[in-house]
Amino acid sequence: MGVALLYIKTWGLWVDSWAPWVHAAYTAHPSNASPFLRTVASSSPSSVSSHPPLAESLRPKHLREVIGQQHLLGEGKALRVAFESGQPHSCILWGPPGVGKTTIARLMADAFDAQFIAISAVLGGVKDIRDAVEQAQVAQGQGRRTILFVDEVHRFNKSQQDAFLSHVESGLFTFIGATTENPSFEVNSALLSRAAVYVLQPLTDTDLKQIVALALARQAQPAIESIAIDRLVAYADGDARRLLNTLETVRVAAQQEQVPEVTDAWLVELLGERMRRYDKGGDQFFDSISALHKSVRGSDPDAALYWLVRMLDGGADPRYMARRLVRMATEDIGLADPRALRLALDCAEVYERLGSPEGELALAECVVYLAVAPKSNAVYKAFNEARAFVKKDGTRPVPLHLRNAPTRLMKQLDYGKNYRYAHDEADGFAAGERYLPDGMPDTAFYRPVERGLEIRIAEKLRDLKARNKKAG
């Protein structure tokens, strides 16, 4: 429970609405309560919510106070130049949570003495957009600029995003959108063409340690041993907001339990097992599965294991991972090693029988095997070529000699006539027999590579082709 509750962004609001329930849970089972639960149960709403969250109180007030993103904010870099130009422009800030998107938008409004209007696409709608337009029109009448900040802009649908276009064009406001998802896929092309895209990176461990030092200096915090700081930084996983919210939890819990120094052991007990930030179904998810697939294709078992464990550690469904391994076996190994597909199917069955964590070892075994197996995408390419040909070529009639003839009438119509049964031929091969539709040119969709079993398959096909040619 303690881990899940750490994700709440506004500590005070959480306590106001949930503290009675937590208090009841603590009263019913005080001996089983974690340090976090004991802290909340014994805290009054007023004592906690009277102070703004640490993440808000430490939000930079000036550009020089921003930690991280120096590839954008350093001397001569794109966003720094934009700040110094005196002329704001519409932009999309794309990056993971807690890296400074909202902060940069606020600082831009301050730098240009502009009215700042923020809309959450998660909670807002067309009415909020209309209200923002009215406020911007009032400010324009007073000779003041407006910066409209839309958080999680990818959550707005196409019509909602289109509502901004005419106002961006007219200069009524400068549009700044923040998104954790790839704007190429999630933001309308019309809006995207009117906004510069800036990519923000996760904060480094050095950046996060600077933020810890700042928090310790500005607010009363218990002493924290260095190894515990390292754990806090690792727990934050590049997210400053998560780091500061966790620090807030640590401070309150330490005060309640009168802990003189936060040790690593105490921190582990408070936070529970560390969990990575992971956006199932989002960009990070698909980037990670792409990295796994490319590592297998590139025959790097160590990298493949790393990405597999990263995804499992982040909460990816092992069943989904097993399905992807089956796909890799067919797409990238193919007939160079037909055993790969069988192994991938077996690994999926093993996981179904054992579950986690024991069944995850089967996934690891499969990943290593696929990575070291000989590679061929010949079947994958052949299938796609055949599908493209059929789609373009249309439907050709099945040759009479290949048709089934279960009735007398069909036999009278010559269905199946002159068909040569391969098992009755020498070596089980009817040399010269044609199986493609009449009038269709000979084609070679499947072209085996010179790796693994496909070396022998290629030899076999060359021999059969020569026999066909000899038979005329």
Look at residue 132 in the predicted model and tell me its pLDDT.
Answer: 93
Contact 464, 433 (CB under 8 A): no
Contact 375, 333 (CB under 8 A): yes
Query: How big is the CA angle at 346 (ends 345 and 352), to the nearest 5 degrees?
Result: 95
CA 145 to CA 133: how far, in whole Å? 12
- Residue 66, SS3 per DSSP: coil
Nearest to 313 by CA among 266, 280, 347, 269: 280
Q: Can you spell out the DSSP letters for 415-429?
A: TTTT---GGGSGGG-
Q: Give yes or no on whether 69-199 and 394-471 have one common fold.
A: no
Contacts of 452 (CB under 8 A, 6+ apart): 335, 336, 337, 373, 374, 375, 376
- The sign of the torsion formed by the CA atoms of 457, 460, 464, 469 equals positive
CA 194 to CA 175: how far, in whole Å? 9
CA 198 to CA 420: how far, in whole Å? 66
Look at residue 279 in the predicted model and tell me its pLDDT.
Answer: 52
Domain extent listing, the chain: 2-58+204-271, 69-199, 283-372, 394-471
The token pair that represents 270 in the structure block? 């408070």
Element (H, E) at 109: helix 101-111
CA distances to 209, 214, 235, 459 from 247, in Å: 12, 12, 11, 66
Mean pLDDT by 10 residues, the chain (472 residues): 34 36 38 41 43 82 92 92 88 93 93 92 89 94 94 90 92 94 88 93 93 86 88 88 90 88 88 56 78 96 95 86 95 96 95 89 97 96 93 88 87 88 89 89 91 94 90 80
Environment class of 448 (CB within 10 Å of its CB; exposed 0-12, middle 13-18, buried 19+): buried
Contact 279, 7 (CB under 8 A): no
The token pair that represents 160 in the structure block? 């909602």
Look at residue 283 in the predicted model and tell me its pLDDT.
Answer: 66
One-letter identity of residue 387: R
Look at residue 305 in the predicted model and tell me its pLDDT.
Answer: 97
In CATH, the number for domain 394-471 is 1.10.3710
In CATH, the number for domain 69-199 is 3.40.50.300
Per DSSP, 222 falls in state: -
Environment class of 220 (CB within 10 Å of its CB; exposed 0-12, middle 13-18, buried 19+): exposed
Helix intervals (H) in 171-300: 183-186, 189-192, 205-218, 226-236, 240-257, 264-271, 283-297
Look at residue 357 in the predicted model and tell me its pLDDT.
Answer: 87
CA distances to 102, 111, 124, 153, 232 from 145, in Å: 18, 11, 22, 21, 40
327-331 own/partner pairs: CB under 8 Å, 24+ apart: 328/293, 328/296, 328/297, 328/370, 329/370, 330/379, 330/380, 331/377, 331/380
Look at residue 382 in the predicted model and tell me its pLDDT.
Answer: 95
- Residue 196, SS3 per DSSP: strand
pTM of the model: 0.58
Look at residue 326 in the predicted model and tell me its pLDDT.
Answer: 96
pLDDT 10s digits, 312-334: 887 788 999 999 999 999 999 99
How do 146-151 and 261-262 pair as beta strands?
unpaired
> 283-372: which CATH topology?
Zinc Finger, Delta Prime; domain 3 (1.20.272)
Q: What's the full length of the chain, in residues?
A: 472
One-letter identity of residue 133: V
Nearest to 378 by CA among 289, 453, 294, 292: 453
